Structure 1
Amino acid sequence: MRKIALGLILILSFLQTGCWDAREIDELAFVLSIGLDKTDYGFKVTAQIASPETYSKTPSGSGIAQKNKPFWIITSTGKTIFEAIRNMASISSRRIFWSHIKIIVISEQLARSNTLEIFDFFTRNPELRLRTLVAVTPGNAGKILDIVPVTEKDPAVYLEKIIKNRNLTGKSYDIMLKDFIEDYLDPYVGPVTSRIIFDKSKSEPIIKTSGAYVFDHNKVSTVLSEEQTRGLLWIKNKMNSSIMVINCPYDGIPITLEIKKSKSSIKSYLDGEVPHFSINLKVDATITEQSCLTNFNDMEKLSKLKNSLEKSICKDIQSTILTAKDIQIDFPGLSSTLHRQHKKEWNQISPKWDQIFKDSKVNIAAKVTIHHVSLAKPLEPIKIQK
């Protein structure tokens, strides 16, 4: 009898405490993205918050054709990130809730000063998902969050998708908060983030991704071009797909090739304290656009085209490596390869890694296979005899 009573007490105790931290949805402000800017006295925090009322009033299939934005923007300032966020309570009747945030955008001005306080706050916040994307912009971070894109309902979804589209372009970088923090805490590796810019070359400015930012521990050090970012993706084996435009080896007219698949591997050995790295790539590509009249069904001509593409790939990687050595930041992560393959020697050279990395030797080799050549014969005008 005592066992039954004890069992009932335990069951009832679980039922009583099951919803101790419950929150009503209409009392929460769901943050979709956040922008962080520097002020003379601290931080400016801009939060893009979902508007449930606007979403619910949008007819099915109506897309963004609505009078009101499906979100609202609130901005607050403070000496610290947390103070600025808490100050939002004075302008928002709902409690700020972080579990739905998609992206953190940091202004370059702030990122070049010190980001230690930023990432300290976000790693301590239990509501924030570590899969949240991190990006830096050369302009005002808050301004980016208040622009309604043409193709999406809100900026957060748009930014998330264009950053992840680097799988198609191969010209930008994407990183989640958990991976950024992992690199951030590694004393030998420089973290890399997405770079978001305003493209003002159009009649109406648009937001786009272009290249990447390299951090030197807790602040931005360098901007990578699209080609250098592509080189970094090759090195890190993150190249899913890309478009490579090279000149025809016979007449110099541009040819477009699509990278379908790639695999990179890195091997290392030590000559005293000088590390040697061999970066080897296997790449599958197809011809997607050809203006020159060269018929690459000819194996000799196809071989020259492959050599041209291989040289272009190696050039991207070489530019990335030279930049890393010049700024003495191992953002390609070659230290991880050396540590993994030569653990004993690594313990001896790691204290001097910055200088040793600068003096390291890197050999790059790419092997390209071009598929479906027979389906990509050049279009030649038909000659009509008079």
Structure 2
Amino acid sequence: MKRIVGLPCVLFSLMLLCCSCFGSRQINELAIVTAVGLDVGENPEMVKLSAQIIRPADARGQTGAPSGGTGQPIYSVSAEGKSIFEAIRNLGRFTSRRVYWAHNFVIVMHEDYARRGIKDMIDFFTRNHELRMNTWIAVTPDSPDEVISTITGLEVVPGEAVNRLFRDNKIVRLAVGSNMMSLEESFLSPSTEPVIAKLQLVSRGISNKKPGEHGSLKQVELAGAAAFKEEKMVGWLTLKETRGLLFFLESLESGIEVVACPDPSRNLTVEFKNVKFKVTPDVQNQKPQFKIQLTTSADIVESNCEETPEEILGQIEEKLQQELKSSIESVIKKAQKQYKSDFLKLGDVFRNSYPEEWRGVKANWDESFAAAKTTVEVEAKIKSAVLKAAGTGVK
């Protein structure tokens, strides 16, 4: 009797095991996308979508010499459509596998596409349940399909190389860490405008076959940023302006700065750290204003000056303060006067401190932000004049 009672349970378990793979997707049936490019089509009203698809069998080797197959670790393909979704569907006309987005590392947009507006891109990729919200977003002045298909660095898959550039950006600190989550957040915010990292191709690589020809290979560089107003790109930020921007967006805690020696033909490098950055909003005559304060300590890590660091310590501190203040003031000027776009998140700071006054300026925040008075104060102290490179492995 016990065996008869237990029989349905056994049969039910077997049914679950048989159905466990129902609806599953086999890897050899999928076109796994690792990078996406978006551009304006031949017809300006069309969207050109480029996809970097990995070849699992050819990307197994991590030495740059894949084994088996065609020898190419990636397959790059592009299609056009009236919308992003139609362009993707058009890929299916000549791609033998279903496009799969869950492993996509980066979306790279051309400058022309970004200036036209990116609302459709944000809408589509945030609706796509396969896409991860930590997917990196970048803008490029170069061809996106070339950027996402350029094998660069130590990785055999270009999308993974760009992913690592973004992950290690916290060391170099010359670009914003823009991903889909931060982009959607700023796009939906009533007080903050989007800002996206800049990717570009530079001729810096050295071919093993042509070691004497520097720049014989193109490399992907992550540096700078693209500023937006609402959904449209309005212009670029330089490396100096991007460095200043990071204090506002990513709590930049350390970095390096090269300052001139008393002899301007020589330089000295300092590493600043323990940065404390504070934005204090205020209201004067019903108009917002901001006081920006930065304090930091620094070590000298390299000197080419004729004088010893101890002899020019005060001059080094003053020049470091000037460089840091200049980078902050330059990005504020670009945001307020040229682009009139609050990608510095000053509106968020003002709204949190003065909710009543915010309601009065919310409707015309662009104008209020552009007219707001800002003051910048920087204090830097050299705590060690002994030459060392902290955090670099150099003793």
Task: Give the fraction of aligned pairs with identical amino acids, expressed as a percent.
Answer: 28
In the alignment, the residues of structure 2 paired with residue 261 and residue 199 of structure 1 have an alpha-carbon distance, to the nearest angstrom, of 33
Alignment CA distance shift 1:76-1:375 (3 Å): closer
Residue in 2 aligned with 1:204? 217
In the alignment, the residues of structure 1 paired with residue 293 and residue 268 of structure 2 have an alpha-carbon distance, to the nearest angstrom, of 24
Please list, as runs of the form range in 1=range in 2, the aligned pairs for 1:225-264 lying within 5 A after superposition: 225-248=238-261, 250-252=262-264, 253-264=266-277
Q: In structure 2, the residue corresponding to 1:374 is in which secondary structure?
A: coil
Residue in 1 aligned with 2:383? 371
Shift of 1:17: 6.9
In the alignment, the residues of structure 1 paired with residue 292 and residue 23 of structure 2 have an alpha-carbon distance, to the nearest angstrom, of 52
Residue in 2 aligned with 1:23? 25
Alignment CA distance shift 1:374-1:242 (3 Å): closer
2:127 to 124, 127, 131: 124
Q: In structure 1, the residue corresponding to 2:295 is in which secondary structure?
A: strand
Q: In structure 1, the residue corresponding to 2:217 is in which secondary structure?
A: coil
Shift of 1:237: 4.3
Residue in 2 aligned with 1:185? 188
In the alignment, the residues of structure 2 paired with residue 204 and residue 8 of structure 1 have an alpha-carbon distance, to the nearest angstrom, of 64
In the alignment, the residues of structure 1 paired with residue 376 and residue 9 of structure 2 have an alpha-carbon distance, to the nearest angstrom, of 69
Determine if contact 2:298/2:384 at 8 Å carries over to the other structure.
no
1:46 equivalenced with 2:50 (yes/no): yes
After superposition, what is the alpha-carbon deviation per residue over 1:29-65, rounded to whole angstroms, capped at 9, x for unaligned?
1110101111114111111111111134x3xxx6113
Residue in 2 aligned with 1:33? 35
Please list, as runs of the form range in 1=range in 2, the aligned pairs for 1:213-362 lying within 5 A after superposition: 213-248=226-261, 250-252=262-264, 253-298=266-311, 301-326=312-337, 327-362=339-374
Alignment CA distance shift 1:292-1:124 (3 Å): same
How large is the Cα RMSD of the aligned pairs?
A: 2.4
Residue in 2 aligned with 1:164? 167
1:153 to 109, 132, 156: 156
In the alignment, the residues of structure 2 paired with residue 15 and residue 280 of structure 1 have an alpha-carbon distance, to the nearest angstrom, of 63
Amino acid in structure 2 at the alignment position of 1:348:
G
Q: In structure 2, the residue corresponding to 1:347 is in which secondary structure?
A: helix
Structure 1 residue runs without a partner (length 5+): 377-386
Determine if contact 2:269/2:303 at 8 Å carries over to the other structure.
yes
In the alignment, the residues of structure 2 paired with residue 17 and residue 68 of structure 1 have an alpha-carbon distance, to the nearest angstrom, of 37
Determine if contact 2:30/2:97 at 8 Å carries over to the other structure.
yes
Query: Is the deviation greater in 268-277 or in 65-74?
Result: 65-74
In the alignment, the residues of structure 1 paired with residue 280 and residue 19 of structure 2 have an alpha-carbon distance, to the nearest angstrom, of 55
Determine if contact 2:39/2:113 at 8 Å carries over to the other structure.
yes
In the alignment, the residues of structure 2 paired with residue 129 and residue 54 of structure 1 have an alpha-carbon distance, to the nearest angstrom, of 25
Shift of 1:259: 2.8
Residue in 1 aligned with 2:210? none
After superposition, what is the alpha-carbon deviation per residue over 1:110-151, rounded to whole angstroms, capped at 9, x for unaligned?
111121111111011000000000000012111112211142
Residue in 2 aligned with 1:100? 103
In the alignment, the residues of structure 1 paired with residue 18 and residue 365 of structure 2 have an alpha-carbon distance, to the nearest angstrom, of 57
After superposition, what is the alpha-carbon deviation per residue over 1:67-121, rounded to whole angstroms, capped at 9, x for unaligned?
7121111211111100110111122221111110000000111111121111111
Amino acid in structure 2 at the alignment position of 1:24:
Q
Q: In structure 1, the residue corresponding to 2:116 is in which secondary structure?
A: coil
Amino acid in structure 1 at the alignment position of 2:32:
F
Query: Is the deviation greater in 84-93 or in 307-316?
Result: 84-93
Structure 2 residue runs without a partner (length 5+): 205-214, 389-395
Residue in 1 aligned with 2:72? 69
Query: Is the deviation greater in 69-78 or in 329-338?
Result: 69-78
In the alignment, the residues of structure 2 paired with residue 219 and residue 19 of structure 1 have an alpha-carbon distance, to the nearest angstrom, of 44
In the alignment, the residues of structure 2 paired with residue 371 and residue 97 of structure 1 have an alpha-carbon distance, to the nearest angstrom, of 52
Q: In structure 2, the residue corresponding to 1:308 is in which secondary structure?
A: helix
Query: Is the deviation greater in 267-276 or in 367-376?
Result: 367-376
Shift of 1:240: 4.3
Q: In structure 2, the residue corresponding to 1:34 is in which secondary structure?
A: strand
Residue in 1 aligned with 2:212? none
Residue in 1 aligned with 2:90? 87
Residue in 1 aligned with 2:136? 133
Shift of 1:303: 2.5
In the alignment, the residues of structure 2 paired with residue 50 and residue 240 of structure 1 have an alpha-carbon distance, to the nearest angstrom, of 37
Q: How many residues align?
A: 366
Determine if contact 2:37/2:108 at 8 Å carries over to the other structure.
yes
1:55 equivalenced with 2:56 (yes/no): no
Structure-2-length-normalised TM-score: 0.86
Q: In structure 2, the residue corresponding to 1:131 is in which secondary structure?
A: coil
